[in-house]
Amino acid sequence: MHTTNSSTAIVGQTFCVIGMTCHHCEMAITSELSKLPAVTRVVVDVAAGTVTTESSTPLDGTDVAAAIGEAGYELA
């Protein structure tokens, strides 16, 4: 867990995603995950097949899977 200067806890979580191949994949997943409450940052690494989120509270895996599914991909 990382902490910002304002003493607000930031929770970082990394997920493996199946099917990402390009910048469009990155944009679609970023868009859907950014809609989840508490998400402040999304970093997609297409080459590694991972997505890292930063949020003010831990994300529920079911919500993350649903958002990634909405973008057309699935959790590994």
> Which CATH entry fits the domain spanning 2-75: 3.40.640.10, 1.10.3720.10, 3.40.50.720, 3.30.70.100?
3.30.70.100
pLDDT at 36: 96
Contacts of 60 (CB under 8 A, 6+ apart): none
pLDDT score recorded for residue 1: 40
Q: How far is CA 35 from CA 6, 42, 44, 47, in A?
A: 23, 11, 15, 24
Residue extents of the structural domains in the chain = 2-75
| Tens digit of each residue's pLDDT (9 = 90 or more) over 20-72 | 999 999 999 999 999 999 999 999 999 999 999 999 999 999 999 999 999 99
**Predicted structure pTM score:** 0.85
Check residue 3 and give its pLDDT: 41
